[in-house]
């Protein structure tokens, strides 16, 4: 056990206001971190997490200007006075997007970048490079160009580059936000190694609560520039209501524990299974959905409880599935570079389906969906949209039927106001100005951006920009809506807003929805069908339950099923998708056992 | 770069970057000095041979080559029609090859004569451009940007930041290209047809991607600057990650051959007009 020792970070009543802003990004926060601790910082976007990270190495306010009040001491220095360059060898800062923090032409050069900036000798730099590449499990990739690495390898390189400066403290600002499940697993294993093997003090800003719960020594939850909650994981996750209020997703294991009245807060699937097996829980009445606040009714055979959405607690039933709207037959695609991206894909999607396409990076998900509105053309094979072959039909025509929302909102917002952005697509399709005005007005209200109609989209938050990008495509009224990674870089609340909106479009307007996602929690909550891709092929297709019931399939696609699916599969040999559904099933099972015992 | 760097196990790739740089500079100097197409063609063949040793992906040069052929044709016609050569090798440089406005057009007298001297000089000019482009392409394809940074870092009085800025800009080009393609795809997905309309309309449509491209690049540059700051960029006045290069026999051979041939060619050109038209 690593012995906790002296205080290494001390923040006393720290406030910060960015230059030109009236709102305090940090509002009188105080925290103390001991050497060797792993501290997780949670909270929604805009709550001040990144500002907190930048204060620790002095980039705020030395590089990013603003007004800083209070006392900040890091490893015996005041970062503001010491300066970022001096702090860099004490505090390493890793950001979420690896592409903007890799500077070398090879992995080796990138790792050498920091030590070289410190003016170390060539021999010392190479010693550190070799050590860090080894510690971060990058051996064999030394001469590889960073842009040719996988997402997880890129982020590992970024961490190695910072770690090569041998800082005592590593601050990781949402290091897994852009990664697929395999990349996330790699980064979390590195964080664990930093903490347990290398004795580095780690400040981990994250949205992935399921992984943090077993990794962090202490957890701070931020909300509007302040700490809404802080303490050990046991203390913080014992307050699920406060977590929800702060905009943080409650881990499945904790939520399930709360629903079944577990005697102590479970932190892992093993804890939950032990709780059930030892009977240290009590559920007197059918569980109530903690989000919708409604009783969870009988669980269907499919394992889906009816009320799942906070914004739509009384939803319409699932729309009926109709005729095929997308048909893909023996689709092959090879990029000009020679890389084979699709290798004989067969897929039929019917009207009214809500489909999630999943798989690790490079599996061919985006390449496949870009064929559906003609952005890419098959090397061989056939695609039909609404029964018509797409060959020879331009994207400008297909987009009226198949809407495509790209992953990064900033790459698809090009107008000078929000309202103009919404009217852009319909105007190109020749929709009458009166109809466009009506659609724009309705959409502004639907996505909660009515008050920003005249604002430049760039000024909106990431979540708002993502909603706008989605609505800008919805404005064209396509029958099929493809949304590529709708939740990347968003917090849980923003993610739910986007998905709830898609669900409304699906239920109320009968749209066919196709999402590409790595987030299995999103899949389990919203998708009715899951298409699994690997190596340019469809390797699995079924309901979320069917797909999550096949661990081998999940392994082939490098995916990890939600914790609750693991638990229910281990306990009862059936996969359920939400803690509420699992709690209801437990209640049903114990009630029926009690009836049998009585009779 | 004309051709992106590729790591391959060839003799040229293994050469010291300084030697490759000297080779490229020598080729450029000789191509500038010579004006006779046959000599230039020989130089061009030597460059092609160097490229063959480096396993240059010639297919990637197809686009540039086709464009350059058009440029070469224009240069030859303009030079042939306008330039009067004082040649030491051509027998009759003033002889008319053909007219730009031919005599067989009814009611029109032949106009704008294209003369042998100017036309041949045009061929020489075009060959010079081809050779320079080819040499730069082979150098860029066989020399990694990091090797170039290493070369720049060795030049006294040039701050190492210059090399870093160059390599970062190098890396940035494909990133911006990808962004541009995505922005255009996003436009297409919302009904914009870049191929339709008059030329001004197409320019207007394409220019619509400039603002988001610029804004995104600035945001990216901002984040990069923050990440660089966090890794102490600029903290030290000197760049200490300088690899110890050792010159191999092959390096010395190429270096001596390049310098020797270049000096001999230029001296002979200056003293006895060898290589002049």
DSSP labels, A260-308:
TTBSS---SHHHHHHHHHHT-B---S--B-TTT-SB--PPPTT---S--
CB-based contact A176:A208 (threshold 8 Å)? yes
List, as ranges, residues 327-386 from A with C-beta within 8 Å of B: 370, 373, 375
d(CA A112, CA A253): 41
- Nearest C-alpha of chain A: how many angstroms from B226? 7
CB contact (8 A) between residue B226 and residue A116: no
Backbone angles phi, psi at B241, to 5 degrees: -90, 65
Place of tokens 């990431």: A462
Q: Which residue has the higher pLDDT, B34 or A286?
A: B34
A294, pLDDT greater than 60: no
CB contact (8 A) between residue B230 and residue A88: yes
CB-based contact A115:A124 (threshold 8 Å)? yes
d(CA A204, CA A174): 7
Relative to beta strand A340-350, strand A529-534 is unpaired
pLDDT in tens, B117-174: 899 999 999 999 999 999 999 998 999 877 887 887 777 777 777 777 777 777 777 7
List, as ranges, residues 297-326 from A with C-beta within 8 Å of B: none
List, as ranges, residues 79-118 from A with C-beta within 8 Å of B: 84-86, 88-89, 92-93, 95, 97, 99-101, 103-106, 109, 112-118
Interface residue A169 vs chain B (CB under 8 A): no
Per-residue pLDDT at B54 = 95
Chain B residues near residue A89 by CB distance under 8 angstroms = 232
Q: What is the mean pLDDT of residues A499-516?
A: 95
d(CA A276, CA A256): 11
d(CA A583, CA A290): 11
d(CA A545, CA A384): 29
- CA-nearest residue to B221 within chain A is A100
Per-residue pLDDT at B98 = 87
Interface residue A480 vs chain B (CB under 8 A): no
pLDDT in tens, A524-565: 999 999 999 999 999 999 999 999 999 999 999 888 899 999
d(CA A182, CA A518): 10
- CA-nearest residue to A118 within chain B is B236
> What is the greatest pairwise CA distance in chain A?
82
Helix (H) / strand (E) containing A325:
strand A324-334
Chain B residues near residue A370 by CB distance under 8 angstroms = 185
Lowest-confidence region among A56-70, A410-424, A515-529, B98-112: B98-112
A449, pLDDT greater than 70: yes
Q: Which residue has the higher pLDDT, A120 or B150?
A: A120
- Residue among B183, B211, B223 minimizing CB distance to A100: B223
- Mean pLDDT: which of A133-142, A498-507, B160-169, B244-253 is highest? A498-507
List, as ranges, residues 250-289 from A with C-beta within 8 Å of B: none
What is the band of A313 on the pLDDT scale with cuts at 50, 70, 90?
A: very low
A312, pLDDT greater than 60: no
% of chain A surpassing 70 pLDDT: 93
d(CA B239, CA B243): 11
Backbone angles phi, psi at A166, to 5 degrees: 50, 55
Q: Is A41 buried (19+), middle (13-18) or exposed (0-12) by CB count in 10 A? A: buried
Q: B111 is written with which tokens? A: 């106009």
User: Going residue by residue through chain B (277 aa), what tens digit of pLDDT does each one get?
Assistant: 567 788 889 999 999 999 999 999 999 999 999 999 999 999 999 999 999 999 999 988 888 888 889 999 999 999 888 888 777 777 788 888 888 888 787 777 888 888 888 999 999 999 999 999 999 999 989 998 778 878 877 777 777 777 777 777 777 777 788 888 999 999 999 999 888 888 888 888 888 888 889 888 888 888 888 888 888 887 877 767 777 778 999 999 999 999 999 999 999 999 988 888 8
A592, pLDDT greater than 80: no
A521, pLDDT greater than 70: yes
Q: Which region, left, alpha or beta, applies to residue A189 given φ > 0 means left and ψ of -120 to 50 means alpha?
A: alpha
A303, pLDDT greater than 60: no
Residue B43 burial (CB count, 10 A) = 22
- CA-nearest residue to B145 within chain A is A105
Q: What is the ipTM of this complex?
A: 0.81
Taking the alpha carbons at both ends of chain A, their separation in whole angstroms is 53
- Residue among B149, B189, B232 minimizing CB distance to A404: B189
Cα within 13 Å of Cα(A513), Cβ side: 30
Per-residue pLDDT at A474 = 97
Size of interface A-B (CB pairs under 8 A): 159
Per-residue pLDDT at A211 = 85
CA distances in angstroms from B108 to B96, B98, B104, B112, B113, listed in the order given:
18, 15, 8, 12, 14
A214, pLDDT greater than 70: yes
Helix (H) / strand (E) containing A9:
strand A7-18
What is the band of A597 on the pLDDT scale with cuts at 50, 70, 90?
A: low
Q: Which residue has the higher pLDDT, B212 or A351?
A: A351
Q: Which residue has the higher pLDDT, B272 or A315?
A: B272
Per-residue pLDDT at A291 = 53
Chain B residues near residue A403 by CB distance under 8 angstroms = 189
Q: What is the mean pLDDT of residues A119-123?
A: 90
Q: What is the pTM of this model?
A: 0.79
d(CA B202, CA B194): 6
- Residue among A84, A105, A400 minimizing CB distance to B145: A105
CB contact (8 A) between residue A414 and residue B145: no
A89, pLDDT greater than 60: yes
Q: Which residues contact B49 (CB under 8 A, 6 or more apart)?
A: none
Q: What is the mean pLDDT of residues A278-285?
A: 84
Per-residue pLDDT at A541 = 96
Q: What is the mean pLDDT of residues A243-259?
A: 90
d(CA B83, CA B116): 10
Q: What is the mean pLDDT of residues A149-158?
A: 86
List, as ranges, residues 398-437 from A with C-beta within 8 Å of B: 399-400, 403-404, 406, 408, 410-414, 424-425, 428-429
> What is the greatest pairwise CA distance in chain B?
77
Three-state DSSP class for residue A176:
coil
A594, pLDDT greater than 70: no
CB contact (8 A) between residue B168 and residue A113: no
- Residue among B146, B168, B182 minimizing CB distance to A406: B182
> Edge-to-edge strand order for the sheet containing A529-534?
A402-405, A480-484, A512-516, A354-358, A529-534, A537-542
CB-based contact B112:B81 (threshold 8 Å)? yes
- Residue among A62, A161, A373 minimizing CB distance to B231: A161
Partners of A227 in beta bridges = A222
A309, pLDDT greater than 50: no
Q: Is A417 buried (19+), middle (13-18) or exposed (0-12) by CB count in 10 A? A: middle
Per DSSP, helices labelled H in chain B are 11-14, 17-33, 37-53, 62-82, 116-142, 145-154, 160-188, 199-207, 210-230, 249-272
pLDDT in tens, A457-497: 988 988 899 999 999 999 999 999 999 999 988 888 899 99
Partners of A32 in beta bridges = A10
Average pLDDT of chain A to the nearest whole number = 89
């Amino acid at each position: 056990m690593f012995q906790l020792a002296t205080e290494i970070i001390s923040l006393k009543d720290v406030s910060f206001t960015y230059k030109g802003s009236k709102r305090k990004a940090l509002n009188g926060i105080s925290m103390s971190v001991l050497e060797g601790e792993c501290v997780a910082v949670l909270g929604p976007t805009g709550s001040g997490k990144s500002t907190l990270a930048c204060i620790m190495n002095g980039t705020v306010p030395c590089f990013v200007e603003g007004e800083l009040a209070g006392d900040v001491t890091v490893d015996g220095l005041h970062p503001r006075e010491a300066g970022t360059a001096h702090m860099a060898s004490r505090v390493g800062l890793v950001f979420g997007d690896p592409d903007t923090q890799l500077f070398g032409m090879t992995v080796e050069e990138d790792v050498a970048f920091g030590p070289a900036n410190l003016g170390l000798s060539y021999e010392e730099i190479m010693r550190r490079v070799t050590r860090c590449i080894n510690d971060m499990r990058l051996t064999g990739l030394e001469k590889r160009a960073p842009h040719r690495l996988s997402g997880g390898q890129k982020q590992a390189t970024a961490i190695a580059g910072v770690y090569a400066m041998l800082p005592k403290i590593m601050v990781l600002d949402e290091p897994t936000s852009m990664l697929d499940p395999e990349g996330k697993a790699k980064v979390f294993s590195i964080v664990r190694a930093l903490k347990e093997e290398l004795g580095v003090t780690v400040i981990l800003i994250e949205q992935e609560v399921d992984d943090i719960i077993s990794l962090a020594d202490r957890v701070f939850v931020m909300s509007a520039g302040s700490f809404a909650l802080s303490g050990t994981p046991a203390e913080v996750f014992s307050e699920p209501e406060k977590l929800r209020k702060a905009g943080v997703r409650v881990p499945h294991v904790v939520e399930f524990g709360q629903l079944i009245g577990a005697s102590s807060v479970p932190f892992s699937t093993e804890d939950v299974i032990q709780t059930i097996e030892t009977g240290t829980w009590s559920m007197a009445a059918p569980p109530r959905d903690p989000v919708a606040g409604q009783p969870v009714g009988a669980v269907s055979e499919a394992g889906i409880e009816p009320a799942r959405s906070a914004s739509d607690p009384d939803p319409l039933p699932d729309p009926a599935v109709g005729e095929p709207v997308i048909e893909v037959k023996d689709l092959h695609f090879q990029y000009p570079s020679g890389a084979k991206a699709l290798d004989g894909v067969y897929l039929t999607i019917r009207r009214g389906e809500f489909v999630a396409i999943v798989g690790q990076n490079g599996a061919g998900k985006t390449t496949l969906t870009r064929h559906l509105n003609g952005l890419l053309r098959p090397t061989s094979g056939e695609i039909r949209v609404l029964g018509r072959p797409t060959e020879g039909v331009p994207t400008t025509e297909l987009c009226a039927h198949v809407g495509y929302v790209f992953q990064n909102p900033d790459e698809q917002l090009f107008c000078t106001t929000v309202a103009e952005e919404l009217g852009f697509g319909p105007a190109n399709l020749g929709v009458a100005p009166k109809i466009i005005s009506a659609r724009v007005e309705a959409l502004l209200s639907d996505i909660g951006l009515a008050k920003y109609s005249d604002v430049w989209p760039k000024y909106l938050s990431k979540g708002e920009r993502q909603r706008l990008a989605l609505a800008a495509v919805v404005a064209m009224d396509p029958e099929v809506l493809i949304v590529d990674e709708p939740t990347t870089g968003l917090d849980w609340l923003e993610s739910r807003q986007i998905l709830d909106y898609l669900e409304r479009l699906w239920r109320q307007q009968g749209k066919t929805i196709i999402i590409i996602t790595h987030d299995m929690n999103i899949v389990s909550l919203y998708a009715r069908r899951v298409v699994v891709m690997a190596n340019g092929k469809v390797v699995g297709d079924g309901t979320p339950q069917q797909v999550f019931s096949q661990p081998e399939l999940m392994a082939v696609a490098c995916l990890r099923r939600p914790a609750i699916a693991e638990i229910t599969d281990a306990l009862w040999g059936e996969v359920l998708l939400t803690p509420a559904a699992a709690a209801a099933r437990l209640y049903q099972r114990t009630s029926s056992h009690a009836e049998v015992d009585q009779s | 770069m004309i051709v992106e760097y590729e790591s391959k196990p060839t003799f040229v790739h293994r050469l010291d970057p300084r030697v490759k740089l000297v080779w490229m500079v020598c080729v450029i100097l000789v191509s500038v000095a010579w004006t006779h197409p046959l000599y230039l063609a020989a130089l061009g063949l030597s460059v092609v041979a160097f490229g063959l040793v480096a396993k240059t992906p010639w297919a990637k040069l197809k686009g540039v080559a086709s464009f350059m052929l058009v440029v070469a044709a224009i240069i030859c016609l303009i030079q042939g029609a306008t330039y009067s050569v004082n040649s030491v090798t051509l027998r009759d440089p003033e002889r008319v090859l053909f007219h730009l406005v031919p005599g067989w057009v009814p009611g029109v007298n032949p106009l704008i004569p294209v003369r042998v001297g100017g036309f041949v000089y045009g061929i020489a000019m075009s060959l010079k451009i081809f050779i320079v482009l080819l040499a730069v392409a082979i150098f860029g394809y066989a020399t990694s940007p990091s090797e170039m940074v290493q070369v720049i870092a060795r030049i006294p009085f040039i701050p190492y930041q210059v090399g870093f800025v160059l390599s970062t800009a190098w890396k940035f080009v494909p990133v911006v290209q990808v962004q541009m393609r995505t922005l255009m795809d996003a436009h297409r997905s919302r009904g914009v047809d870049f191929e339709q309309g008059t030329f001004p309309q197409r320019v207007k449509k394409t220019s619509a991607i400039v603002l988001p491209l610029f804004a995104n690049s600035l945001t990216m540059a901002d984040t990069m600057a923050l990440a660089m700051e966090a890794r102490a960029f600029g903290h030290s006045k000197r760049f200490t990650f300088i690899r110890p290069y050792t010159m191999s026999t092959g390096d010395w051979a190429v270096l001596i051959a390049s310098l020797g041939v270049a000096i001999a060619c230029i001296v002979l050109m200056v003293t006895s007009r060898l290589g002049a038209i």
